[in-house]
Amino acid sequence: MLSNYTAKYTKIKSGYMGQLIEWPEVVTEGKTLEDCRIMLRDALQEMVKAYKKQHKEIPTGRALIEQIPVEV
């Protein structure tokens, strides 16, 4: 079964931090945004394997993200 997850990337001092909205335990960092994307995909695959091995329920990916503009 294929599932989609929503990634959130935040610029940090050392590069980028990536985290999944629906599965906050899946988090990583990379020097560049592309490095972070690759590492986040890898972290997700490893987390899926670990959850399956432990017979844990895998969170489903179905978040709706919306940016709301505000004048500051």
Residue ranges per domain, the chain?
7-53
- How far apart are alpha carbons 10 and 17 in whole angstroms? 5
Q: Which two tokens stand for residue 44?
A: 């997700």
Q: Which amino acid is at 11?
A: K
Single pTM value for the model: 0.83
Upper half-sphere CA count for residue 66 (Cβ side, 13 Å)? 4
**Residue range 21-35: average pLDDT?**
96
- pLDDT over 90 (residue 68): no
- pLDDT over 80 (residue 32): yes
Q: b vs e for 21-58, b when ≥16 Cβ sit within 10 Å of the residue's Cβ? A: bebeebebbbeeeeebbebbeebbeebeeeeeeeeeee
**Residue range 1-15: average pLDDT?**
92
- pLDDT over 80 (residue 62): no
